[in-house]
Amino acid sequence: MIFELLPSSLFYLLFATLTGASVGSFINVVVWRFPRNESIIAPSSHCPKCNVNLLWYENIPVFSWIFQKGRCIHCGAEISVKYLVVEITTSLLFLACCYANPVNFDNLSIVVLIAGWLYISILLSLAILDLDHFWLPSSICNFGIISGILFSGIIGFIQIDLSPFLLIFQHTLAAICGFLFFRLLAFVGYRIFSRPAIGDGDGFLSALLGSWLGIYGLAISLWLSIYLAGLFTISGMMLGKIKPGQVIPFGPFLAIAGMAVWIFGNDMWLNILLLNFIV
């Protein structure tokens, strides 16, 4: 585990928590500006209502929102609680990566930890964009796919018991399989319903999961995402929150499943899957 590699586990857990909150703040920028075709680099952070640039103490992840009571100190405009939730969620996920058991990478190292942080950040950004805008940008998905394949090769070079070229091949094949699986579902769905039943972005997101998790991790993620989506839909319909025929984005379920498989590994989910079949 990471504690065997780092001199002060408490310090690095704190570092992971603070880094996660900071990255969460950046994710808030991405999911706000990307749909508006704005640069995620410039201009600097500002209030979208009064356009006043935020001072450094107004831009501290988590704390600024709490101390300002969720409002801009210049114009009093309300700041959505979603900003706070995203920063806290990212922080907790980064912390969870310190205990992760990612597929194919048995010996957790700094490189694997950083890879996990990048992977989590990409998935969380895509989940929010799909939830808010029914949109999974191909540019972010493609970046995630390439990153997953590259990191599989890098980690293969670092870990003596793994072949980098074999890992690259396996993860590339898994990415292709993930994309083709959703292309097939889209084709079948269109034949049955005479209209698009699955968004194009889901195929790219599935390919992203394959590039990071490999073929077995991808298969478990697909099963888990379908299970979660079904549970959510049935519960929502029973509570009257979801109407028959209502369109529900599938990307967030894929993203949650992909994070869960990275953090907890294959074995736990395989045991749960087998238990479901037995019961």
Task: Based on the fold, state whether residues 68 and 150 are members of the same structural domain.
Answer: no
Q: Please compute, for residue 117, the number of CA atoms within 13 A of its CA located in the half-sphere on the CB side.
A: 21
Output the pTM of the full model: 0.91
- From 48, 64, 99, the end of a domain falls on 99
- Per residue in 172-215, pLDDT (tens digit) is 999 999 999 999 988 887 777 767 767 789 999 999 999 999 99
pLDDT at 204: 97
Closest C-alpha among 94, 26, 25 to residue 62: 25
Task: Based on the fold, state whether residues 134 and 1 are members of the same structural domain.
Answer: no
Task: Based on the fold, state whether residues 38 and 125 are members of the same structural domain.
Answer: no
Task: Based on the fold, state whether residues 90 and 114 are members of the same structural domain.
Answer: no
pLDDT at 66: 93
- Per residue in 99-134, pLDDT (tens digit) is 888 876 655 578 889 999 999 999 999 999 999 999
Task: Report the C-alpha gap between 121 and 243 in whole angstroms.
Answer: 31
Task: Based on the fold, state whether residues 106 and 94 are members of the same structural domain.
Answer: no
Segments forming the whole domain that contains residue 91: 1-99
Task: Based on the fold, state whether residues 85 and 112 are members of the same structural domain.
Answer: no
Residue pair 202/226 in contact by the 8 Å Cβ criterion: no
- From 70, 99, 128, the end of a domain falls on 99
pLDDT at 154: 87
**Which tokens is 234 given?**
């049935």
- From 33, 66, 99, the end of a domain falls on 99
Task: Based on the fold, state whether residues 48 and 109 are members of the same structural domain.
Answer: no
* Residue segments in the chain with a per-residue pLDDT below the cut of 70: 1-8, 104-108, 160-162, 194, 197, 274-279
Q: What is the CA radius of gyration of the chain?
A: 20
